[in-house]
């Protein structure tokens, strides 16, 4: 590092005539520094910055001297590695950083990436759950805490937020996103990026964020992960792109491309996506990292004939860094020598990467994220868990409470708690829990035991899965072992109330975890029906990573709580909601289907030329199922009730529309409501959805308290992208809808 500072200082003196104070061009000081370093680098060293390796040897042991890890280790020593992922913990980060900074010719520091998707060691709720809070401030705080904890472990870059919109609960990665709506998804993307990156990326408790997976990954055909994506232009511009554009506008410093092909061209080799749109139209000045091995996978896609061709396609298309394909480090120099890749593209990619490293302060101090004392003090701290608990409570959605079984009485009750998931301390951590300690979540059982003035009896009922599983293994579902049914039924029979925790184990959703069925896995539905035969007072608590088709439960079970996978503080959050110490305020960010056959199902659908219902048969419907979801987007109940009155639309001039509504708490307890505003552009040159979310406000009201909520609609809300990618606003008739769910609203018309 000493070398580079000396050389660097000399260079800045030379460049000094253009020193920033006299320099009036567009280049920032960092740009000048980057240019200076670039001018020192050999072609091999430049290519090295574009190469990212996974943590590749047992860092607690001697460095490898043979095999693949040895090659990577030697590349590290030769300055041919720009970044590493999955190296974590101050001690190990120092080890690899020291090699890069002190043993290579120029000492350029590594950027250390990790999947801090919803927490580092302390897990907050899965992102889909956090999105159900519609609480942007709390979501931002959650990301801020994750960044602080990860940075304390030496990490300075997270591969998050995942901003892929999806309408298909069969796809396992819906757990990782913000659901089906581009407007909500865009605001949540912004909140998460601001939380991770803070207002100063060089601070030691902020990390670079990464908008992923660009683009269209959530539209994988049949909900099967990594599958083909074929979408129309209007969906691309109006549904898929907006959260990514919002990420650029929020200042995200990196992007990650996606595994899928988009309309015939793999995203990693897709120039339209990466150069024309991202770096061109949107003027993104950060860098694009490939997804794991996605450059090499263009061979399997049938788009590249070999590794060298894959490297050529990817770098020409704008993929700046190669995650674990090893093709840039091995093929790019030859491609440049053969004139197939222009060195200016290498320079552009390297400048982007170096710029982010400067912004992170890594050149000032490559060890700024490596403080052993801070690591001990911050990781797993009370501050982290308090934030996780707060986020978890706000993420819970009350789906049903017909007989007011909830909130539970705090004394004198005999409560049967049933379900393997009720004592499961792993599943609430979700599937992106790489740095979390196994079995570290507070279980529902442990949370409920805090309320010790009731008699609480636990029975497992049935295992959801067989044996153990982890991030890289399949989950085997129990479909035969009913040995615990009898005990559970007996416990249920004697109880005043049964709390039944059913759903999915942690690794049934997430990457590579697609499902063709959306019911309760394994024997859980049978258990539910058996329990129902002996006790009707059931509170069903769902622990799941995706919308489930729980049509039977909706018909027969009087109280249903959607509790997702809520992270480290799951059991405490659930218990506090069940006992009414927190009045549930969540709203669904994704529609729940009645039947997997309805999927993809979403609220902002197009009307079609044959909407219904109609008396005759020729309209868009199913013979065997309703069109509507079981629970719609934006739906969620409370222990109180809210009333909407007096929807007013005024001041419709030069495309500015004022909307106001009065909301009152018509119940007996304080509660929070997400007041939602939707519009419909009735006639347009490109058809518009029957409803589009264009505003919401989270409001807390005491019993009988009322408040007037105001919204302003401008071009930004009233316009849309046409099929040429231009954002336009067209005159005509609009409807505006306001309410506490996408399907229950007041409405009014206005002319634009």
Considering the complex, what minimum distance in angstroms separates the CB of residue 176 from ligand GLC? 8
Considering the complex, what minimum distance in angstroms separates the CB of residue 155 from ligand GLC? 12
Provide CB contacts within 8 A for 157, sequence distance 6+.
Answer: 83, 111, 112, 113, 114, 207, 208, 210, 254, 356, 360
Phi and psi angles of residue 478, each rounded to the nearest 5 degrees, phi first? -75, 120
- Nearest residue (beta carbon) to ligand GLC: 159
- Count of residues making up the chain: 752
Long-range contacts of 341-347 (CB under 8 A, 24+ apart): 341/311, 341/312, 341/315, 341/316, 343/43, 345/315, 345/316, 346/43, 346/46, 346/47, 346/50, 346/315, 347/38, 347/46
Residue 557 tokens, joined: 């079970």
Considering the complex, what minimum distance in angstroms separates the CB of residue 323 from ligand GLC? 7
Q: Identify which of residues 255 and 678 has a Cβ nearer to ligand GLC in the complex.
A: 255
Give residues 347-376 in contact with ligand GLC (rule: CB under 6 A).
none
Q: Identify which of residues 96 and 659 has a Cβ nearer to ligand GLC in the complex.
A: 96
Nearest to 578 by CA among 706, 393, 374: 393
**Strands of 358-446, DSSP E:** 397-401, 414-418
533/422 Cα distance (integer angstroms): 21
Binds ligand GLC by CB under 6 A, chosen from 120, 159, 284, 358:
159
Binds ligand GLC by CB under 6 A, chosen from 31, 45, 115, 149:
115
Q: Identify which of residues 52 and 427 has a Cβ nearer to ligand GLC in the complex.
A: 52
Buried residues in 702-738 as b, exposed as e (16+ CB within 10 A): eeeeeeebebebeeebbbbbbeeeeeebbeeebbbbb
75/69 Cα distance (integer angstroms): 10
Quick check: helix, strand or coil at residue 330? helix
Q: How many residues lie near ligand GLC (CB under 6 A)?
A: 7
Catalytic residue check, 181: no
HSE-CB at 125 with a 13 A cutoff on CA atoms is 38
Q: Identify which of residues 159 and 237 has a Cβ nearer to ligand GLC in the complex.
A: 159
**Which position has the token pair 């240019």?**
35
**Residue 180 engages ligand GLC in binding (rule: CB under 6 A):** no
Considering the complex, what minimum distance in angstroms separates the CB of residue 634 from ligand GLC? 27
Give residues 551-590 in contact with ligand GLC (rule: CB under 6 A).
none
Stretch 483-522: interaction string toward ligand GLC, x if CB under 6 A: ----------------------------x-----------
Q: Identify which of residues 257 and 395 has a Cβ nearer to ligand GLC in the complex.
A: 257
> C-alpha 409: how far from its chain's center?
36
Q: Identify which of residues 92 and 115 has a Cβ nearer to ligand GLC in the complex.
A: 115
**Residue 291 engages ligand GLC in binding (rule: CB under 6 A):** yes
Q: Identify which of residues 116 and 422 has a Cβ nearer to ligand GLC in the complex.
A: 116
Give residues 184-223 in contact with ligand GLC (rule: CB under 6 A).
212
Q: Identify which of residues 92 and 424 has a Cβ nearer to ligand GLC in the complex.
A: 92
**Residue 53 engages ligand GLC in binding (rule: CB under 6 A):** no
Considering the complex, what minimum distance in angstroms separates the CB of residue 159 from ligand GLC? 3
527/427 Cα distance (integer angstroms): 20
In degrees, to the nearest 5, what angle opens at C-alpha 173 toward C-alphas 167 and 175? 85
Considering the complex, what minimum distance in angstroms separates the CB of residue 336 from ligand GLC? 28
Quick check: helix, strand or coil at residue 595? coil
**H helices within 272-371, ranges in order?**
297-300, 307-317, 328-337, 343-359
Instruction: Classify burial at 453, counting beta carbons within 10 Å of its beta carbon; exposed 0-12, middle 13-18, buried 19 or more.
Output: exposed
Stretch 640-679: interaction string toward ligand GLC, x if CB under 6 A: ----------------------------------------
Provide CB contacts within 8 A for 369, sequence distance 6+.
Answer: 90, 93, 112, 151, 152, 154, 155, 156, 204
Binds ligand GLC by CB under 6 A, chosen from 237, 284, 287, 292:
292
Q: Identify which of residues 183 and 292 has a Cβ nearer to ligand GLC in the complex.
A: 292
**Which position has the token pair 């001990």?**
376
Considering the complex, what minimum distance in angstroms separates the CB of residue 646 from ligand GLC? 46
In eight-state DSSP terms, residue 415 is E
In degrees, to the nearest 5, what angle opens at C-alpha 601 toward C-alphas 130 and 730? 90
Considering the complex, what minimum distance in angstroms separates the CB of residue 321 from ligand GLC? 12
Give residues 212-271 in contact with ligand GLC (rule: CB under 6 A).
212
Q: Identify which of residues 324 and 390 has a Cβ nearer to ligand GLC in the complex.
A: 324
Considering the complex, what minimum distance in angstroms separates the CB of residue 635 from ligand GLC? 29
483/462 Cα distance (integer angstroms): 8
Considering the complex, what minimum distance in angstroms separates the CB of residue 168 from ligand GLC? 17
Provide CB contacts within 8 A for 623, sequence distance 6+.
Answer: none
Give residues 66-105 in contact with ligand GLC (rule: CB under 6 A).
85
Considering the complex, what minimum distance in angstroms separates the CB of residue 174 from ligand GLC? 14
**Strands of 328-479, DSSP E:** 397-401, 414-418, 455-459, 465-466, 476-477
- For residues 587, 588, 593 and 598, what is the CA-based torsion angle, rounded to 10 degrees? 130
Catalytic residue among 168, 225, 291, 463: 291
Q: Identify which of residues 470 and 646 has a Cβ nearer to ligand GLC in the complex.
A: 470
> C-alpha 393: how far from its chain's center?
18
Q: Identify which of residues 267 and 406 has a Cβ nearer to ligand GLC in the complex.
A: 267
Considering the complex, what minimum distance in angstroms separates the CB of residue 649 from ligand GLC? 42
Catalytic residue numbers, as ranges:
291
The residue ranges that bind ligand GLC (CB under 6 A) are: 85, 115, 159, 212, 291-292, 511
């Amino acid at each position: 590092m000493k070398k580079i500072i000396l050389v660097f200082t000399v260079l800045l003196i030379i460049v000094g005539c253009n020193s920033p104070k006299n320099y009036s061009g567009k280049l920032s000081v960092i740009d000048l520094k980057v240019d200076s370093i670039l001018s020192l680098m050999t072609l091999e060293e430049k290519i090295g910055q574009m190469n990212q390796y996974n943590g590749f040897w047992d860092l607690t042991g001697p460095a490898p001297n043979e095999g693949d890890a040895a090659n990577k280790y030697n590349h590290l020593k030769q300055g041919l590695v720009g970044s590493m992922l999955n190296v974590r913990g101050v001690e190990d980060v120092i080890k690899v950083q020291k090699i890069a900074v002190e043993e290579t010719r120029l000492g350029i520091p590594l950027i250390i990436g990790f999947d801090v998707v919803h927490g580092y060691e302390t897990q907050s709720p899965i992102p889909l759950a956090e999105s159900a809070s519609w609480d942007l401030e709390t979501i931002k705080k959650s990301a801020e805490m994750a960044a602080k904890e990860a940075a304390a472990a030496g990490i300075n870059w997270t591969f998050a937020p995942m901003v892929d919109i999806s309408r298909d609960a069969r796809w396992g990665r819906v757990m990782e996103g913000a659901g089906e709506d581009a407007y909500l998804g865009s605001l949540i993307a912004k909140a998460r990026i601001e939380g991770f990156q803070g207002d100063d990326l060089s601070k030691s408790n902020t990390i670079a964020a990464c908008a992923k997976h660009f683009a269209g990954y959530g539209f994988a055909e049949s909900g099967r992960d990594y599958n083909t994506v074929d979408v129309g232009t209007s969906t691309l511009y109006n549904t898929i792109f907006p959260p990514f554009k919002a990420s650029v506008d929020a200042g995200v410093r990196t992007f990650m491309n996606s595994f899928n092909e988009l309309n015939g061209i793999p995203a990693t080799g897709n120039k339209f996506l990466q150069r024309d749109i991202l770096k061109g139209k949107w003027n993104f000045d950060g860098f694009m990292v490939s997804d794991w091995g996605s450059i090499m996978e263009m061979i399997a896609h049938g788009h590249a004939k070999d590794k060298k061709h894959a490297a050529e396609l990817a770098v020409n298309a704008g993929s700046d860094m190669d995650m674990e394909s090893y093709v840039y480090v091995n093929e790019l120099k030859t491609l440049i020598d053969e004139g197939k890749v222009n060195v200016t593209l290498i320079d552009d990619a390297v400048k982007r990467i170096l710029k982010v490293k400067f912004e992170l302060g890594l050149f000032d101090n490559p060890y700024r994220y490596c403080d052993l004392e801070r690591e001990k003090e911050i990781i797993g701290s009370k501050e982290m868990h308090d934030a996780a608990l707060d986020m978890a409570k706000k993420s819970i959605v009350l789906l049903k409470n017909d007989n007011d079984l909830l909130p539970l009485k705090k004394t004198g009750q005999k409560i049967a708690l049933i379900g393997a998931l009720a004592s499961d301390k792993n599943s609430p951590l979700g599937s992106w829990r790489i740095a979390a300690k196994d079995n570290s979540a507070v279980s529902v059982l442990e949370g409920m035991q805090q309320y010790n003035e009731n008699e609480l009896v636990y029975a497992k009922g049935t295992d959801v899965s067989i044996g153990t599983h982890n991030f890289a293994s399949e989950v085997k579902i129990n479909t035969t072992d009913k040995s615990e049914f009898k005990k559970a039924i007996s416990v249920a029979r004697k109880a005043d109330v049964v709390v039944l925790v059913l759903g999915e184990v942690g690794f049934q959703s997430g990457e590579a975890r697609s499902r063709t069925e959306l019911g309760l896995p394994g024997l859980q539905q049978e258990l539910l029906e058996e329990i129902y035969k002996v006790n009707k007072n059931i509170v069903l608590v769902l622990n799941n990573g995706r919308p489930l088709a729980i049509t039977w439960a909706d018909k027969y079970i009087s109280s249903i709580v959607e509790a997702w996978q809520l992270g480290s503080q799951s059991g405490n959050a659930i218990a506090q909601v069940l006992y009414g110490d927190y009045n549930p305020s969540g709203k669904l960010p994704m529609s729940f289907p009645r039947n997997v056959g309805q999927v993809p199902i979403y609220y902002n659908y197009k009307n079609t030329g044959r909407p219904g219902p109609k008396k005759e048969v020729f309209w868009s419907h199913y013979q065997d199922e309703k069109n509507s979801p079981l629970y719609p987007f934006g739906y969620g109940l409370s222990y109180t009730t809210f009333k909407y009155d007096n929807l007013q639309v005024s001041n419709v001039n030069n495309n500015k529309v004022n909307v106001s509504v009065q909301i009152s708490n018509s119940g007996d307890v304080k509660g929070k409501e997400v007041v939602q505003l939707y519009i419909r552009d009735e006639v347009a040159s490109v058809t518009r959805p029957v409803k589009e979310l264009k505003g919401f406000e989270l409001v807390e009201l005491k019993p009988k308290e009322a408040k007037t909520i105001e919204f302003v609609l401008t071009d930004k809300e009233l316009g849309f992208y046409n099929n040429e990618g231009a954002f336009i606003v067209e005159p005509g008739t609009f409807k505006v809808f306001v309410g506490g769910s996408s399907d229950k609203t007041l409405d009014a018309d206005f002319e634009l």
